[in-house]
Amino acid sequence: MTRLRVVMAALLLGLAGCGGDSSGDDDGGGGGGGGNNPPPRDLRPNVTGSYASTGTIQAVALGQTQSMDVQDTVHIQAAESSVSSLSIRSETLSCDRDLSATMTGETTFSVGQGSCEIARVQDGKNCVVKLSVASGQGSRAAPGPLRLSLQGDFSTTCFLFPVSGQFTLDVTGTR
């Protein structure tokens, strides 16, 4: 039980916004091929901003489920690739790349896959937690709070044996 709590603590250090693979080619522009289609509207200002966020992370490993409270500041910015592309980053963790997301409606977005490593020293030993975000979604109904949920897998070498499992992160934040 104590080991799972240590794994949870390591996850908390960096789960809210870890690096990603921006390999998607979707320009999100719709329309494209002539005709009378109007240019796509940029809806990203409905969700972009910095959000002081709180929520929970739930991890399942070694047949046990643990939940812990999280606090973070989540930054959502317009990405340059299209009028529907977003970039999500956390102040808790610095990764090589931000998570990519795509607007799916006026105030909703889906989060793409991404991964990162959290390196830290625990009990005098090097410890690595690998996070792999499989999916996520978010929304912000004006003038309401941001709601962000991420799901994926984690693995760590922080113990005498590797530990892996699944996580779900749910946060709510205000600008």
Distance CA 80, CA 77 (A): 9
- Residue with structure tokens 């789960």? 15
Domain range 2-18+42-174, CATH architecture: Beta Barrel (2.40)
H helix or E strand, kind and range, residue 151: strand 146-156
For residue 54, give both structure tokens. 């709180």
Q: What is the pLDDT along the chain (175 residues), one digit of tens a residue?
A: 454 454 454 454 344 344 444 444 444 444 444 567 787 889 999 999 999 999 998 989 989 998 989 898 999 999 998 999 999 998 876 566 789 999 999 999 999 998 877 777 777 888 888 888 999 999 998 889 999 999 999 998 887 888 899 999 999 999 8
Give me the sign of the Cα torsion angle 137, 107, 89, 29.
positive
Q: How far apart are the first and last CA of the chain?
A: 36
**What is the distance, to the nearest Å, from the Cα of residue 174 to the centroid of all Cα atoms in its chain?**
16
Domain coordinates of the chain in residue numbers? 2-18+42-174
Q: What angle do CA 96, 100, 106 make, to 5 degrees?
A: 155
For residue 59, give both structure tokens. 């991890």
